[in-house]
Amino acid sequence: MLKCTFCGRRAAYNRRYAGVLLCDRCLIKSVEKRFRRAIAEHKLLLPGERVAVAVSGGKDSVAAMHLLVEYCRLKNCELVTITIDEGIKGYRDQSIGVARDNAKSLGIEHFVVSFKRIFGATLDQMARRARARKTELNPCTYCGVMRRSLLNQAARELEADKLVTAHNLDDEVQAIMLNYVRADFSRLHRLGPAYSPREGFVPRIKPLREIPEKEVALYALLRGLEVHLAVCPYVGGIHTEIRDFLNLLEANHPNSKFMILRMFDRLKPQLARIVPEFEMRRCKSCGEPTSAIICKSCELLKGLGLRRLRKTLISPKSS
């Protein structure tokens, strides 16, 4: 039996990038400490703020919700949860129940916003339409753009000061690499612990950004949290290839993910000089903030022969 470097109990995790073994209790304490440190270091939350957290029901968002509850209690912040139901049969329908149960057990208000209600089609239906129209766009494109837009709008309607997303170290490093591969300076520049653009956007924060995916999973499992661990049926393509490459790199060379993150964080201030400023407008179709005449969500909907059905997301029925 291998023992925890700090307390001598049975080890549950080998933190190879730091050369230490952690037992269940020390791993939980360490994750909580890193979460609090990220908030303090980057001033992600201020006392008394109203905080919306995006919760899918997966391990990361459920862990974030539980970590935030304790933090918000101490800092007198108010917490609400938002779940986007993209309409993925056999996947999202199961995770929504997990999100709802967690919110209920913690006594947090929970709002569900569905693609079907707002856009008139589920993601499954959009994927079928995209295939029929040979658009060459994969479902992750529709899901990512529309989910982000709905989350921002829902958080704004709920008068949240901050929107928390549960992106972990792996998510962030994958996004960095993906934007390198695509030479997308604009998206690369938006990455970081906090993204505070302009009017119409609720500042997005990522307090799990420096916690590896495996440690977030262990935190949820060791605390016995109810989480949904199924794999999204649309997973694939370049995202998966980058994820697998990074996991192989980390397995063979521990600390690689942190090094990529640190390198990016040091380079980021220089990116501001090469990313052009853009004028913020209102989408002519839905009124949401955008740099173009119509926003990306409306543009994608139009390409599928769809249009937005509702301008307002949060109704009394949503919670």
Nearest of 213, 218, 166 to residue 27 by alpha carbon: 218
Cα distance between residue 109 and residue 81, in whole Å: 6
Q: How far is the CB of 15 from another protein (least distance, A)?
A: 10
Q: Which is nearer to another protein, 1 or 74 (CB)?
A: 1
Q: How far is the CB of 182 from another protein (least distance, A)?
A: 15
Q: Is 84 helix (H, G, I), strand (E, B) or coil?
A: strand
Residues 6+ apart with CB under 8 A from 161: 46, 49, 50, 51, 202, 203
| Tokens read off for 315 | 């109704």
| Tokens read off for 227 | 């989480």
Q: Which is nearer to another protein, 77 or 169 (CB)?
A: 169
Q: How far is the CB of 11 from another protein (least distance, A)?
A: 5
Q: Which is nearer to another protein, 20 or 137 (CB)?
A: 20
Q: Which is nearer to another protein, 251 or 263 (CB)?
A: 251
Residues in the chain: 319
Q: Which is nearer to another protein, 151 or 242 (CB)?
A: 242
Amino acid at 224: G
Q: Which is nearer to another protein, 40 or 248 (CB)?
A: 248
| Tokens read off for 64 | 């974030």
Count how many Cα atoms sit within 13 Å of the Cα of residue 238 in the half-sphere of its side chain: 12
Cα distance between residue 197 and residue 106, in whole Å: 31
Residues 6+ apart with CB under 8 A from 153: 288, 313
Beta bridge pairs of residue 163: 52, 204
Q: Which is nearer to another protein, 27 or 112 (CB)?
A: 27
Q: How far is the CB of 256 from another protein (least distance, A)?
A: 10
Q: How far is the CB of 240 from another protein (least distance, A)?
A: 6
Q: How far is the CB of 179 from another protein (least distance, A)?
A: 14
- Residues lying near another protein in the complex (CB under 8 A): 1-2, 10-14, 21, 24, 58-59, 170-171, 174, 213-214, 217-218, 221-222, 229-232, 235, 239-240, 242-244, 247-248, 250-251
Burial 164-177 (b: 16+ CB within 10 A, else e): bbbbbbbbbbbbbb
Q: How far is the CB of 220 from another protein (least distance, A)?
A: 9
Q: How far is the CB of 205 from another protein (least distance, A)?
A: 19
Element (H or E) spanning 113, and its range? strand 109-114
| Tokens read off for 167 | 């992106």
Q: How far is the CB of 14 from another protein (least distance, A)?
A: 4
Q: Which is nearer to another protein, 137 or 178 (CB)?
A: 178
Q: Which is nearer to another protein, 246 or 313 (CB)?
A: 246
Cα distance between residue 222 and residue 31, in whole Å: 12
Cite the DSSP H helix spans in 12-91. 24-41, 59-75
- Are 51 and 161 in contact by the 8 Å Cβ rule? The answer is yes
